[in-house]
Amino acid sequence: MIEHRSHLYGVVGEFASEHQLLHAAEQTRGAGYRRIEAYAPFPVEGLSEALGLKRNKVPLITLIGGLTGGLGGFFFQYWVNVIAYPLNIGGRSLNSWPAFIPVTFELTVLGAALSAVFGMLALNGLPQPYHPLFNVQRFAKHATSDCFFLCIEARDKKFHLAEASRFLQALGASHITEVRDD
Amino acid sequence: MSVGQQPPQIDSPEIRRLAPVIEPGHTYGTVTDKISAIVLTRPASLGWFAGFTLAFCVVMMLTIALAWLITKGVGIWGINIPIGWGFAIVNFVWWIGIGHAGTLISAILFLLNQKWRTSINRFAEAMTLFAVACAGIFPLIHTGRPWMAYYMFPYPSTMGLWPQFRSPLIWDVFAVSTYGTVSLLFWFVGLIPDLATLRDRAVTKPKQIIYGMLALGWRGSARHWHRYQSAYLLLAGLATPLVLSVHTVVSFDFAIAIVPGWHTTIFPPYFVAGAIYSGFAMVLTIAIPLRKAYDLEDFITMRHLENMAMVMLATGLIVAYGYLFEFFMARYSGNKFDMFLVDQRLHGPYRYFYFALILCNILTPQLLWFQKIRTNVVALFIMSLVVNVGMWLERFVIVVISLTRDFMPSAWGRYSATFWDYATFAGTIGLFVMLLFLFVRVLPAISIAEMRELVAETSEEHP
């Protein structure tokens, strides 16, 4: 048997609707569990608050990316058309900044969009092809279509396998399963 | 919707107000099953194979046309001096414009919280990407030496050469490449949860592996959704000004020049309106056969078609205003070259193109004022084709009439397209259709995650 070598990730319970999940998340957090995670096939309104999630850093990363793109874009054009390769077109000033605005704008949007997407993925730790929860058959089959899951993770200070399972059962969860990393 | 149930009576305003964006009776499981089945379990129909084969043959014609072009040079086209911008630019502007509706639906309607966008945004975004791909071909091959196209990007070359950033053509390079990139990101981010659904529902190993890699390990965690929603909202906010800027920059290609008929300040707004107009026409052209072929009438309801028809009518009227003001400003300015150009549109050698343009873009769409037409699927389909033709004619009129009739009679000319012009244009239509055929078979044409959200919202409204 290899079971004794496998590592316990947590215990997961299944809920039939987003309302039950929301309620369960609130109760679990209220009971003092901190390392919990809810899984839903679509973004459930109020779930972030129920889990006590703070504001995320995606907007800040996007702002920094946009500013970098915009400022970098403008001064790059300045450097190219004024310093590196000055072209005298009808005696117009070399730093003809209004003509640099379209490209500056486009690069602002490009920088912001790239940082929004890659920032979101990086903060989420994606791509991550393997996760212990994928070992749970019901989860792998239904988490992305029609069921809702709540997982109490083993790294929670309060975690005790039997207690956590009983707690989930009391909340009305079905198919309560240990999640093992093997 | 159960079989045999009466469809809602469309002509009562009260009922129409309540016309659903999704037919009742759907659950998270049924929307998931129905949409993912098109990709995973439903066998490709004979119609699909026939359509795909036809489109594929047209793409082969495109490759021949491009190979011949690269062998012989742009002389095989009808372009000449003074009409250096022929079909290549007409088609470029037409395709880019078509793409705009996809971004409008996915970004602007998202910000405006329009629920009806949900079932049409995915394929409209795909349409944007494919249209931008088709558009991108034209300026590239119009350079004559497409293998030198990288000269347009600023890179440290051994020649010490840099692009001229004051040129609208360089703005275009940045606008279109940014637009393509951001549209791709937006589309892909929207696809991630659905790719995870396909990964989990696929039964064969290759599908599980491919969708699994594309899904990046998405598992629907609340923390992930939290950041995902922020990123999606920000992307929508960024794509909104971007889409308006792209056709503005395209119109600068014309408006910055001093050619009569091009040098007007109304060009940016009227190009953007025209882009959305033609884009919505193309969305209808795709949506109507798609919902029929894959039984998606529950998801792409009459309400969607009618709303799109109304957007077409509104943007069509803005375009009509643009045409009117071109005439007014030419008169009002007293500039004899502008006035002469107006005269040439009405009485010149290309007047029939102009009359056809007015017929397609201004007169025919007035039928959309009637609800009977807006709720008639066949009439809408025909109307969408007419508007697509009309918008192509608009760009032809703008490019050709101005270039053949500028300041000096000695510089006047005539333009007619050759076989290779038509072959290339038809070829890109084939490419567009072929990509759409592939898309509906390998990716969910409707966002499944957003449809589940819609089911959740509508079940709360009518418990």
Q: Which alpha helices (H) appear in B256-350, and where do they start and end? A: 267-293, 302-333, 336-347
Q: Provide mean pLDDT across the span A1-11.
A: 67
What pLDDT is attached to residue A4?
Answer: 54
Q: How far is B215 from chain A (nearest CA, A)?
A: 8
Q: Is the peptide bond before A102 cis (omega within 30 degrees of 0)?
A: no
Of B228, B238, B456, the CB nearest to A18: B456
What pLDDT is attached to residue B15?
Answer: 44
Asked if the Cβ–Cβ distance from B231 to A81 is below 8 Å, we say: no
Q: Which residue has the higher pLDDT, A176 or B355?
A: B355
H or E stretch including B427? helix B419-442
pLDDT per residue as tens digits for the range B394-410: 999 999 999 998 888 99
B4 near A CB under 8 A = no
Asked if the Cβ–Cβ distance from B227 to A113 is below 8 Å, we say: no
Of B27, B193, B223, the CB nearest to A53: B223
Of A58, A127, A140, the CB nearest to B231: A58
Query: How many CB pairs lie under 8 A apart between chains A and B?
Result: 194
* Packed helices B377-396 and B267-293: angle between N→C axes, nearest 10 degrees: 150
What pLDDT is attached to residue B429?
Answer: 94
Query: From the candidates A45, A117, A134, which should be mutated to test the interface with B, based on the most B CB atoms within 10 A?
Result: A117
A101 near B CB under 8 A = no
Instruction: Print burial letters for B163-185: b (CB count within 10 Å at least 16), e (below 16).
Output: bebbbbebbbbbbbbbbbbbbbb
B98 near A CB under 8 A = no
What pLDDT is attached to residue A77?
Answer: 93
Q: Is residue B9 part of a domain?
A: no
A90 near B CB under 8 A = no
Asked if the Cβ–Cβ distance from B238 to A146 is below 8 Å, we say: no
Among B453, B224, B196, B194, CA closest to A37: B224
Q: How far is B256 from chain A (nearest CA, A)?
A: 11
| Domain enclosing residue B142, as ranges | 25-152+161-461
pLDDT per residue as tens digits for the range A92-117: 889 889 999 999 999 999 999 999 99
Query: Which residues are CB-neighbours of B357 under 8 A, at least 6 positions away?
Result: B390, B393, B394, B397
What pLDDT is attached to residue B292?
Answer: 87
Query: From the candidates A18, A145, A152, which should be mutated to test the interface with B, based on the most B CB atoms within 10 A?
Result: A145
pLDDT per residue as tens digits for the range B301-335: 888 888 889 999 999 999 999 999 988 988 898 88
Q: Which residue of A has its CA nearest to B252?
A: A102
A129 near B CB under 8 A = yes
* Residue ranges of chain B with per-residue pLDDT less than 50: 1-16, 463
What is the value of ipTM here, to two decimals? 0.91
Res. A16 pLDDT band, cuts 50 70 90: confident
Chain B residues 185-214 within an 8 A CB cutoff of chain A? 185-186, 188-189, 193, 196-197, 199-201, 212-213
Considering only CB atoms, which chain B residues are within 8 Å of A83? none
Asked if the Cβ–Cβ distance from B200 to A112 is below 8 Å, we say: no
Q: Is residue B233 part of a domain?
A: yes
Asked if B174 and A100 touch (Cβ cutoff 8 Å), the reply is no
Asked if the Cβ–Cβ distance from B181 to A113 is below 8 Å, we say: yes
Q: Provide mean pLDDT across the span A45-64.
A: 89
Asked if the Cβ–Cβ distance from A102 to B249 is below 8 Å, we say: yes
Asked if the Cβ–Cβ distance from A80 to B220 is below 8 Å, we say: no
Chain B residues 285-314 within an 8 A CB cutoff of chain A? none
Considering only CB atoms, which chain A residues are within 8 Å of B174? 102-103, 106-107
Asked if the Cβ–Cβ distance from A117 to B189 is below 8 Å, we say: yes
Q: How far apart are CA B50 and CA A56, in angstroms?
A: 49
Residue written as token pair 């990363």: A61
Q: How far apart are CA B246 and CA B171, in angstroms?
A: 9
Asked if the Cβ–Cβ distance from A39 to B220 is below 8 Å, we say: yes
Asked if the Cβ–Cβ distance from B219 to A131 is below 8 Å, we say: yes
The radius of gyration computed from the CA coordinates of chain A, to the nearest angstrom, equals 25
Residue written as token pair 């066998």: B43
Of A39, A56, A112, the CB nearest to B226: A56
- Into how many domains does chain B fold? 1
Q: How far is B244 from chain A (nearest CA, A)?
A: 11
Considering only CB atoms, which chain A residues are within 8 Å of B181? 110, 113-114
Q: Kindly report the CATH number assigned to the domain that includes residue B369.
A: 1.20.1630.10
Q: Is B153 in a helix, a strand, or coil?
A: coil
> How do the domains of chain A map onto residue ranges?
3-49+130-181, 58-123
Query: Which residues are CB-neighbours of B54 under 8 A, at least 6 positions away?
Result: B430
Q: What angle do CA B16, B440, A134 make, to 5 degrees?
A: 100
Asked if B424 and B142 touch (Cβ cutoff 8 Å), the reply is no
What pLDDT is attached to residue A2?
Answer: 46
Longest dimension (CA), chain A: 84
Q: Provide mean pLDDT across the span A131-136.
A: 86
Q: Is residue B229 part of a domain?
A: yes
Q: Is residue B381 part of a domain?
A: yes
Asked if B368 and B277 touch (Cβ cutoff 8 Å), the reply is no
Of A39, A77, A87, the CB nearest to B221: A39
Query: From the candidates B161, B181, B211, B238, which should be mutated to test the interface with A, based on the most A CB atoms within 10 A?
Result: B238
